[in-house]
Amino acid sequence: MDAPRTAPFTTEAPEGTLQTVIDTIPALVWAARPDGSAEFFNQRWLDYAGLSFDDARDWGWTVAVHPDDRPAAIDHWRSILTSGESGEMEARLRRFDGAYRWFLNRASPLRDESGDTVRWYGTSTDIEERKRAEEATRLDEQNLRLVVDSISGLVATMSASGEVLLLNRQNLEYFGKTTEELENWATSDVVHPDDLPGVVAAWQHCFETGEPYDIEHRLRRADGVYRWFHARGLPARDAEGRIVRWHLLLTDVDARRLAEDELAKAVNEIGRLRDRLHDENTYLQDEIRREHNFEEILGNSPELLRLLNRVESAAPTDANVLIIGETGSGKELIARAIHNRSGRKKSPLVKVNCGAIPSGLVESELFGHVRGAFTSASERRIGRFELANNGTLFLDEVGELPLETQVKLLRVLQEQEFEPVGSNHTVKVNVRIIAATNRDLEKAVQAGSFRSDLYYRLNVIPLHVPALRERRSDIPQLVQAFLQKYTKRMGKPIESVSRDAMKLLVDYSWPGNIRELQNVIERGVVLSRGAVLRLGPDLLPTETETSMEAAAIAEDGNSDSLEEVQRQHILRVLEKTDGVISGPRGAGAILDIHPNTLRSLMSRLGIRRALQAAS
């Protein structure tokens, strides 16, 4: 075997030099005869296997092959010999320490001039790391498959052209088909006929644009039942950005769709009940209109008539209105008149007194809040904007809004949408804004306490409500209206107003405007006797009282001072009568009020409770 060992290396170079070169090649090199028996191994091969040349020659090398790989390796080697062509095979070779490593064995024939094979040359390359990586990949794929099969939805992977490459176990169970059957499926076989055009169009769009696939449609189950699924598909791209795969997840949303259908039915039922309630409340709506309409805006002074003409012009539009006037001048009545003459009159007019709401709760009041938005938000609350949807929102004392709320209000005016406090869900509304103020908003803008952009948004149609002192000719008509209202309520037989009393009322400056006039008439009715209302100067507020009352009214937009006057006056009379109401010496006779009417008035003013507490 020594002579054949050097046969492959016939060359002009010395044999020892070639042997050294081959022995230092970083690979296992070998040579074999035409029949496949080994005739040469380089030193690296022998060192690796821990065999001598005599042990490895001929077919002795097979002892170094792993027993599990040996039969297949020998058969493969013989098939290469038979073919006479180059070939390769993988097998594990035992190292000198007994450990096995994977090798890739390549063999190429050496032919003579006539084409006959005279020798085989081969190399064995260590591929242990590659095989380990392949095994790790195989295990990863196996684990990934387990994960994919554990997903409750239907998972699929498709080629860039839509060919099915992978399906998870849930697909097989849902459709009742094998993988091979599903790989050849047609979309029309499983998609509901009504949904098919949309599905086809969606996929065509995705294939053309590369955009994600997102659609809901129905799929037929193995038993023929259709269920709703949300299908979401994402493209996978290679390094050049080309789409190579589509990964698809279909989630069963049948229960949600059923709930949505039930919700839609419930909404329709609520709408039907709402319409029914609207019809049943027609009488109440008429009563409200009688209480708050032009009929209550009394007077025919030129100043008032000019205002009402502007109201008639502004009402049919959807333009924002800014009503400017002193406290108590009737700004809310003007707002209601505009609403009741607009196309929104069948929807609500919702009032917000911006000056009466704590600054920390203004946004919650206007826009509502969700449960948990802040510490005390134990349940969801609908804001005034949402309540006024399709109607009118009356922002009284709008000049008192905090600057941070003004920003959010401006957005609603511009976009007709907002987010409730604590929510990221956008609520769209259709609301007309009527704002009112007793402040000079232009000065507030200059002072930086009111946003200029919000001011211009609100001040589309400005309406100035004249103060009562600017329309003195209307005072007699207002006095008669208030006199009729309170005599009827209190059961007093007063039929007219004395000339002196009327002169006092007309000449007074009325810093509190109509509200102050109303309170004075109520006070006079309580204290007067006989059929004629007589007012002495003592019944009109002093300058100090007037300024204090006007300040209080301006602060909270409401005044209960006259009710308190009634209450205190009745209490003083009751003290004199020792609580006796009826009879010639009772409180009713002294106050010139029927005893039953006095009892009703006492109940309304809480006087019985006060007497009990005092006793």
Given this model, what pLDDT does residue 613 score? Answer: 47
Cα–Cα dist 232/247, whole Å: 8
Q: Determine the Cα angle at 347 with ends 419 and 307, to 5°.
A: 105
Indicate the CATH number for domain 2-127: 3.30.450.20
Q: Where are the domains of the chain?
A: 2-127, 151-256, 305-466, 471-614
Instruction: Look at residues 594, 598, 549 and name the one whose alpha carbon lies nearest to residue 571.
Output: 598
CA–CA dist 174, 254 (Å, integer): 14
Dihedral angle at the C-alpha atoms of 381, 383, 384, 387, nearest 10 degrees?
Answer: -70
How many Å separate Cα 423 from the centre of its chain? 6
Torsion of CA 524, 529, 531, 537, to 10 degrees: -40
| pLDDT of res. 377 | 56
Q: What is the pLDDT of residues 539-595, one digit of tens each?
A: 666 543 444 444 444 444 444 455 676 777 888 888 888 888 888 778 887 776 778
CATH code reported for the domain at 305-466:
3.40.50.300
Compute the distance between CA of residue 350 and CA of residue 394 in angstroms, rounded to an integer. 6
Please give the model's pTM, rounded to 2 decimal places: 0.46
Q: How far apart are CA 339 and CA 348, in angstroms?
A: 9
- Closest C-alpha among 33, 17, 217, 22 to residue 123: 22
151-256 classified as CATH 3.30.450.20: yes
Burial class (CB in 10 A: 0-12, 13-18, 19+), 485: middle
- Going by their DSSP bridges, the two strands 117-126 and 28-32 should be labelled as antiparallel
pLDDT digits (tens, 9 = 90+) for 226-282: 999 999 988 888 888 888 888 888 888 999 999 988 888 888 778 767 655 654 454
Q: How far apart are CA 478 and CA 521, in angstroms?
A: 10
C-alpha pair distances (Å), 566 with each of 530, 573, 575: 18, 11, 14
Q: What is the predicted pLDDT for the residue at 133? A: 82
Identical fold for domains 305-466 and 471-614, yes or no, is no
Helix, coil or strand: residue 232? strand
Number of alpha carbons in the 13 Å side-chain half-sphere of residue 167: 19
DSSP category for residue 540? S
* DSSP characters over 47-60: HHHT--HHHHTBTG
Regions of the chain with pLDDT less than 70: 1-21, 24, 137, 139-147, 149-150, 272, 274-296, 372-378, 536-563, 565, 592, 608-615
HEC profile of 340-397 = HCCCCCCCCEEEEEHHHCCHHHHHHHHHCECCCCCCCCCCCECCHHHHCCCCEEEEEC
Burial class (CB in 10 A: 0-12, 13-18, 19+), 245: middle
Q: Which amino acid is at 514?
A: I
Work out the burial of residue 464: count CB atoms within 10 Å of its CB; fewer than 13 is exposed, 13-18 middle, 19 or more buried: middle
Assigned token pair, 44: 């690296």
- Number of Cβ atoms within 10 Å of the Cβ of 535: 23
543 CB-side CA count, 13 A? 0
255: burial class by Cβ within 10 Å (0-12, 13-18, 19+)?
A: exposed
Question: How far apart (Å, rounded) are the C-alpha atoms in residues 320 and 432?
Answer: 6
Half-sphere exposure of 73 (CA within 13 A, CB side): 22
How many helices (DSSP H) and strands (DSSP E) are in the chain? 27, 19
Please give the C-alpha separations between residue 144 and each of 128, 148, 149, 151, in angstroms, as whole numbers.
Answer: 24, 6, 8, 11
Buried b (16+ CB within 10 A) or exposed e, 48-69: bbebebeebbbeebeebbeeeb
Q: What pLDDT was estimated at residue 279? A: 45
Whether 82 and 120 have beta carbons less than 8 Å apart is answered as no
What's the per-residue H, E or C state across 288-321?
HHHHCCHHHCCCCCHHHHHHHHHHHHHCCCCCCE
Distance of CA 10 to the CA centre of its chain: 84
Residue with tokens 């409730």: 420
| pLDDT of 158 | 82
Q: What is the 3-state secondary structure (H, E, C) of 481-511?
A: HHHHHHHHHHCCCCCEECHHHHHHHHHCCCC
Percent of the chain with pLDDT over 90: 37
Nearest to 296 by CA among 324, 435, 304: 304
Q: Report the pLDDT value the prediction gives residue 45, as an integer from 0 to 100.
A: 94
Q: What is the H or E stretch that residue 35 is in?
A: none
For 471-614, give the CATH class.
mainly alpha
Q: Which pLDDT belongs to residue 341?
A: 92
CA distances from 329 to 438, 461, 475, 557 (A): 9, 18, 12, 11
